[in-house]
Structure formats: structure tokens, C-alpha cells
Amino acid sequence: MVSNPFVYMGKQIRMLRENANLSQSELAELLKEHGIHLKRETISKIENGNRSISVAEIGALASIFNVSVETFFEDEEEEKSLVTLFRKKKPLSQEEEAFLDFIHSMVSSLIGQEKIYREQKKFVPMEPIWKGIERN
């Protein structure tokens, strides 16, 4: 879990704002419609994790982006998700790659056993999908 929860919240807000193709100023205007008066600079501070955010502000943002309030809070299990692991923009660590190799080996073995069970004569193991993928 991130040591400062406001960093995670800020990242979520920025992601939602950018996905909605809104500028910080446009978001400030939408917040005014929900009774929240923030300047563009304040939204920048929130997105950078340099300002706390109130419950009312979170509620208004959830309404604007049509998401659950839980969206703004980090799920401890998310870090363990394979989907999250593959979304990373950096190369996998040796530990992560070893873990994925183990999972891939286990799944390949199960597929092989199923094919043998179904009397398919030949099983060709596949190369893991994360091998050879360049990450920026």
C-alpha cells in the first residue's frame, strides 16, 4: 500500500480526468456545479498528492466521473493482481518474472495433462506472453 493515501487518490483522479478528456480547469468548473469550489492549482496539488481531499470532494468527484467512491481508495490486493502486474510500464523484476514463469509452467503442465487425458498425442508448450515484450 502507498504510504501516503493521497498520492494514490491523486493518481486516480488524474487518470479519471484524463480519460474524460478534461483539463484541471474544466474539472474545477464541474466541481462548482456540485457545490465544491476548488481552483485549478488546488486540483493540481490533489493530483500530485500534495493536498488532502475531503469526503465531500471525493463524493463530488465520484458523481462527476460516475464511479464508486471506492475507486479513490487503494485495494491492498490490487498489487498482487496479475492484471496490475502486466499494466506496469517498466520491466518486470526478477522476482516478478520468476513468479510468472512458475505460474506459466504450472498452467502449461495442467493443459498438457488435460490434452493427455483427452488423448491428444502431442502437446507443444507455448512461450510465455510476457517474454520478449518491450516495456517503455
C-alpha cell at 19: 480519460
C-alpha cell at 86: 502486466
Hey, which bits of 16-67 come out as E strands?
none
Looking at residue 42, its amino acid is T
- Please give the residue that has the higher pLDDT: either 86 or 56: 56
Residues 57, 109: Cα–Cα separation, whole Å: 50
Residues 58, 38: Cα–Cα separation, whole Å: 13
pTM for the predicted model, two decimal places:
0.54
At residue 60, the pLDDT reads 92
**pLDDT tens readout for residues 4-61:** 778 888 999 999 999 999 999 999 999 999 999 999 999 999 999 899 888 889 889 9
Task: Report yes or no: 72 and 62 within 8 Å, Cβ to Cβ.
Answer: yes
Looking at residue 40, its amino acid is R
Domains along the chain with CATH numbers: 5-74 (1.10.260.40), 81-136 (no CATH)
